[in-house]
Structure 1
Amino acid sequence: MAPCRREVTRGRAVAAGVRNRRWQAAVGLAVLAAATGGALSPPASADGAEPPGRPPGPVDFRTQCLPPQEAGLPPADGTSTARITVADPAPRVGDTVTVTYRLAATPAVNPRAGELPADVLTPTGRVLLAGAQSGEVTVVGTRRNEPVGEGGQLPAVTMTGTFTVTAPGETTLAPGGYTLHTGGPTVEDTVCTPAEAGAPPVSARLTATPLPAANLRSVALGAAQGTPGARVEVTGAGFAPGAVVTVAGRAGAAETADRAAATADAHGGVRAQLPVTDRSTTAVVAYEGAAWSARLGSGPAAYTVVEAAPPQPGTQQLSAVVEPGALAMTQTGEDVSLGAVPYGDGGAAPGRIATVTVKDARGGPAGWSLTGRVTDFTGPGGVRIPGASLSWTPACTAAPGSPSPCTPGSAGAVGPDGAVLASTPDAPLTGGTFTVDANVSLQVPPYTPPGGYTALLTLTLS
């Protein structure tokens, strides 16, 4: 079955062509309420990088804090002291990493004429990414503080957020700007912006390792059977260009004496003539390297050795061929409606994606990966909620009898860079039918303009 891509926005589908070995489905998400202010802008890239080798830890950076206009106070210039930490400094591509931004000191002061009460201060901020992965992470803190006297310096705060690792290698994390929001009878925002001349100081580093590449090697035979000594034409695909490929007979999990060699062309294709003389041969495989492996070998193509001697009277030889199928997915429904969020309070808008069914009938050694990514949510007047505000908790179940186990992706943010929804590993023989679901939640900031907000969630099977 040919894979296809489908996009659904506000309940209307748009055809988008055909894609080989990849199936994509897009689902519209809708929620009532959204966010305002700078935190709703799309992430910006962070340029520059610290010299390698600098240990992580607290950093100081020059900052200008602008009090709310109604306070009538001048800008506060000074030094912010911050430390960025990550929950996992050595993640894999596709993992969701939790980031903590601890602001130990700020030049910002109480913007009110009088004491600032306890537990009215809510911080938000940005962590800047550079190196292997660029962009920014939105972090948010809880509304908790000790009372601050008139003109007193605002207290230390802690903010957390998550992001999905999208590139292997070292990524640096640096503190960006932050906003100190004071609620209560009056609402004020003190906006603090780094005033450094160069790149922001790096406070943390992580080094990501890539996910193993899917094995797409396969072989097809010119004939499904032959007499002992017959030469069978073997056609292979998906091998490394220029690689030396061994074509061999198989009997179950063991190789037989039948063997030939070929060199993959510039497109990874292989053609070979394999003399099949071993009567125990029941299949043909091809592989790179000294021995077959699930990472560098093809799945078996069935072959039957037919005896040259005529059958005895009253006997018949029976043969059958199991043909490989395709990797495909289906999904029930299209649009997903998230729960409503009260204006002013903000909070989580929950929902659930439409159930996805993945069927792997290829019969080879390659596993599969189902990933998702989401655009920003767009609402009235073009106000946006970043796609990184949407998180999910995936679940995956393999049908009874499926050779492969199914592993759900990590719970965490989805975002425009994407995250793994579910996957199966490479193995000598893979396949099966799998049911994939996920609970989703959109974190809506307080005082979001009322209205409907939509985004596009795209699922990709490869």
Structure 2
Amino acid sequence: MTARSRWPAAALGVLALAALGVPANAASPVDPGEATGAVEFPTHCLPPQEAGLPPADGPTTALVTVDDPAPEVGDTVTVTYQVTRTAAVNPLDAELPADVLTPTGKVVLGGAQTGEVTVTGPKRNGPVPGHGAFPAFTMTGTFTVTEPGEITLAPGGYTLHTSHLMELDTPCTTDPADPAPVAERLTATAVPGANTRALSLAAAAGKPGAKVRVTGAGFTPGAAVTVAGRTGAAETADKVTALADGLGVVLAELPVTDRATTAVVAYEGPAWTAERGTGPATYAVIEAAPLPPGTQKIGLTVEPGALSMTQAGEEITLTAVPYGQGGTAEGRIHTVTVKDQRGGPAGWALTGRLTDFTGPGGVRIDGAGLTWTPVCATRQGSPSTCVPGTPGPVGAEGATLASTPDASLVGGEFTVDAEVALTVPPYTAPGSYAAVLTLTLS
């Protein structure tokens, strides 16, 4: 039998091998009764690849405050996120001069209202020594209160962008299994007929011309909604229109080209009003630092590739088993080569599923009797390391042949093999038997 291989657009590989044949802690959440204030939580800070530094794991100490602890539904609340200590460091050997650091981040809402608040900070800092710890910084943002009751606020991840010699980002993420504790609380009061339109941004900052994904809620179903950039009380040149769906939700992408844009709003009607528009969501346009005199900037793009696999052969023949005695038929699958040239953070898994063996007159041998012992090798220089699957049965339910873990940057070339053994019962009818082993790469 002949194997057929195909790779869909999503880079999932399906490989059919024909015929195995036989001739016969950190911080804990704050209790509701406890006072809120400065909190400490674990963070994972990833220096830019250009720096050649290892990740920095350590605590972040932060304070979250609001300008109105007792708002009404429909009010816009300003949130301040102040980081007083971070594990992140200057990624350069050289000193960072003053005012080249732009922080952006998220504050996580919980309780009566869930979601995230985008926050940004000004480009303001003192000089930072080479590989020295970043100083304290402050970020602010706003959100619209849409639900009555107690709303909790907790610090989320943040990114430190530096503009000196080159544009570099140092993201610091929180652990979903051990998130930051609640740092602030407010109690919202219901108001009949209050405007509950709200929006959130997928990113808190971007370069001029970058598109930011916008999600709005609370709009009139089917209404035309304008999403626009804003600076103070005035609109900027950035504007798109989208339709609210049957639930009043709006999804849009806003290209932010106007360097004056400092926030994004959404509204129904010809112009923004407090009755038919959202409060502003903070956004920062990050421009590249001007080059020193006598220097030239050289740009380079590394294009991502695909996740793919190939096999060294298509048909496998197991050792013969004598009629009347049964026993173990042994063999080896053909080598599978996996190439991961995507360059992203996601690892891959190569899994297999096996059908029953079919022989003369429809006689079957249970495919669950076949086991494999996977092995894999990683080509030198590959960022990822291949991990073989656990030895054991394959069967119709499937098993893992090999995989690589998720990481900040993955990729490489890998070879995967497996020794296989099939238990054949005594007095199995003589003849040739075949099954299909399907490998899936995802």
Normalized against structure 1, the TM-score is what?
Answer: 0.41
